[in-house]
């Protein structure tokens, strides 16, 4: 037994010596080879005719001097952390966006793997509004549906967030119940539920509420209102993320403010308008933008379905078909979506200024 222990000690010493030698060799290799070459590499990059960096300033092309302040150093460190994201954005997002605008000004024809383009100025944009019999009508319906659906979604999300924020049991369960549709409501699932009539409330049809509303407004507003009631549950299913955003904002409000207002005689209704709503106003703006974007890019959106149909149309020689024309429709759709966001944000800002 004693001999075995002595052998093990000797073996462990040899192993230790081996690893010490490996460590010293790696250390010397890093110090003499890697560190020196890396230092030379950065010295070449930071001290040349184009870029010359010192501790206090940066000189570009031996002419333009930029002082290195602490604020600029902090900004540089921040940008260096998102540098890879910026490169990825420029390659995978900015270039496709720029290329789609390029295609929107051309007539595009696919010849095998080759793409042939013919410059047409703004003919595709003119065709979208003057020659396409359906696009403008679909776009107007989309804009009206956004004006109706977004406020309904935001108000519903705010009410549910206010209820869940109360001292009730099972808050986590309620959060899960209202967030669950966001997880399961993918395109095929929603399509099947819509086909089965699961996205509307049967009681609304039974009492003729839709007919009453539709008969008392013009045809211009009748279709979006009818579409809203036909898909009311589908609209409310988009409220899961907004509920969580509002909950986060509500839980940040200091409860001592409510206690002070109650001592001063403020009612719950007054506390809501004077404390709660102004406190979460920035989150309302974020939720509105998120709602417009999420509804606009949803795969079953009528405009997106129409654009996809045009993109894969078999008649590619027609003026209102093909990749160039589809790129035009996408850009028009994007501009309308941006205008809707600006309108909502502008209305919220006007309301906020009046409240002050």
Q: What is the pLDDT of residues 307-316, one digit of tens each?
A: 888 877 655 5
Pick 140 or 214 by higher pLDDT.
140
Strand, helix or coil at 267? coil
pLDDT band at 132 (very low <50, low <70, confident <90, very high): confident
Of 14-18, 294-298, 315-319, least confident by mean pLDDT is 315-319
Give me the residue label for tokens 């009818």: 226
In the predicted structure, residue 176 carries a pLDDT above the cut 60: yes
Q: Which two tokens stand for residue 84?
A: 């890879």
Question: Residue 187 and residue 218: Cα distance in Å, rounded?
Answer: 32
pLDDT band at 337 (very low <50, low <70, confident <90, very high): very high
Of 164-178, 218-232, 305-319, 320-334, least confident by mean pLDDT is 218-232
pLDDT band at 219 (very low <50, low <70, confident <90, very high): low
Mean of pLDDT values over 21-31: 91
Q: What is the pLDDT of residues 272-281, one digit of tens each?
A: 888 998 899 8
* Sign of the alpha-carbon torsion through 149, 150, 155, 156: positive
Pick 89 or 4 by higher pLDDT.
89
Mean of pLDDT values over 105-130: 82
In the predicted structure, residue 335 carries a pLDDT above the cut 90: yes
pLDDT band at 148 (very low <50, low <70, confident <90, very high): confident
Question: Residue 130 and residue 339: Cα distance in Å, rounded?
Answer: 21
Pick 284 or 198 by higher pLDDT.
284
Mean of pLDDT values over 205-234: 65
Which whole-number Å values give the CA distances from 317 to 18, 214, 313, in the listed order? 75, 41, 10
Considering only the C-alpha atoms of the chain, give the largest distance between any 2 of them, rounded to a whole number of Å: 103
The two beta strands, 114-119 and 51-53, are: unpaired
In the predicted structure, residue 144 carries a pLDDT above the cut 90: no
What residues contact residue 169 under an 8 Å CB cut-off, 6+ apart?
none
- Computed over every residue of the chain, the mean pLDDT equals 82
* End-to-end Cα, the chain, rounded Å: 88
CB 165 within 8 A of CB 247: yes
In the predicted structure, residue 110 carries a pLDDT above the cut 80: no
Give me the residue label for tokens 């002595």: 6
Pick 275 or 191 by higher pLDDT.
275
What is the per-residue pLDDT for 70? 87
Question: Residue 64 and residue 82: Cα distance in Å, rounded?
Answer: 26
CB 247 within 8 A of CB 206: no
CB 310 within 8 A of CB 321: yes
The residue among 53, 290, 266, 15 whose CA lies nearest residue 23 is 15
In the predicted structure, residue 228 carries a pLDDT above the cut 80: no
CB 94 within 8 A of CB 108: no
In the predicted structure, residue 287 carries a pLDDT above the cut 60: yes
Mean of pLDDT values over 17-36: 90
What is the per-residue pLDDT for 177? 76
In the predicted structure, residue 85 carries a pLDDT above the cut 90: yes
Q: Which two tokens stand for residue 254?
A: 């200091």
In the predicted structure, residue 355 carries a pLDDT above the cut 60: no
What residues contact residue 226 under an 8 Å CB cut-off, 6+ apart?
210, 213, 214
Pick 199 or 93 by higher pLDDT.
93
CB 137 within 8 A of CB 306: no
CB 233 within 8 A of CB 196: no
DSSP letters for 211-259: HHHHHTS-HHHHHHHHHHHHTHHHHHGGGHHHHHHHHHHHTTS-HHHHH
Question: Residue 137 and residue 130: Cα distance in Å, rounded?
Answer: 12
Give me the residue label for tokens 């993918």: 186
pLDDT band at 111 (very low <50, low <70, confident <90, very high): confident
What residues contact residue 107 under an 8 Å CB cut-off, 6+ apart?
117, 118, 120, 123, 124, 322, 324
């Amino acid at each position: 037994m004693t001999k075995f222990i002595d052998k093990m000690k000797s073996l462990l010493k040899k192993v230790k010596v081996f690893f010490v030698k490996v460590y010293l060799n790696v250390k010397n290799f890093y110090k003499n080879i890697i560190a020196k070459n890396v230092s030379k590499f950065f010295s070449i990059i930071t001290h040349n005719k184009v870029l010359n960096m010192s501790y206090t300033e940066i000189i570009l092309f031996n002419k333009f001097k930029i002082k290195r302040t602490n604020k600029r150093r902090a900004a540089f460190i921040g940008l260096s952390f998102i540098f890879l994201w910026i490169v990825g954005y420029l390659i995978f997002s900015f270039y496709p966006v720029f290329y789609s605008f390029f295609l929107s000004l051309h007539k595009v024809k696919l010849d095998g793997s080759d793409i042939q383009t013919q410059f047409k100025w703004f003919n595709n944009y003119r065709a979208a509004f003057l020659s396409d019999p359906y696009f403008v009508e679909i776009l107007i319906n989309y804009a009206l549906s956004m004006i109706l659906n977004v406020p309904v979604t935001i108000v519903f999300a705010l009410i549910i967030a206010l209820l869940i924020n109360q001292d009730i049991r099972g808050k986590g369960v309620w959060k899960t119940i209202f967030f669950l549709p966001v997880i399961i409501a993918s395109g095929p699932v929603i399509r099947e539920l819509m086909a089965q009539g699961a996205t509307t409330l049967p009681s609304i049809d039974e009492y003729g509420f839709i007919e009453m509303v539709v008969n008392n407004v013009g045809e211009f507003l009748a279709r979006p209102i009818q579409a809203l009631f036909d898909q009311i549950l589908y609209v409310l299913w988009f409220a899961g993320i907004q509920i969580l955003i509002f909950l986060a904002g509500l839980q940040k409000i200091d409860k001592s403010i409510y206690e002070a207002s109650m001592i001063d005689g403020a009612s719950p209704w007054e506390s809501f308008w004077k404390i709660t709503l102004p406190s979460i106003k920035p989150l309302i703006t974020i939720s509105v933008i998120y709602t417009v974007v999420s509804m606009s890019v949803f795969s079953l959106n009528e405009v997106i379905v129409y654009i996809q149909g045009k993109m894969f149309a078999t008649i590619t020689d027609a003026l209102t078909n093909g990749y160039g024309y589809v790129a035009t429709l996408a850009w028009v759709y994007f501009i309308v979506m941006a205008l809707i966001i600006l309108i909502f944000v502008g209305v919220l800002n006007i309301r906020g200024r009046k409240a002050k």
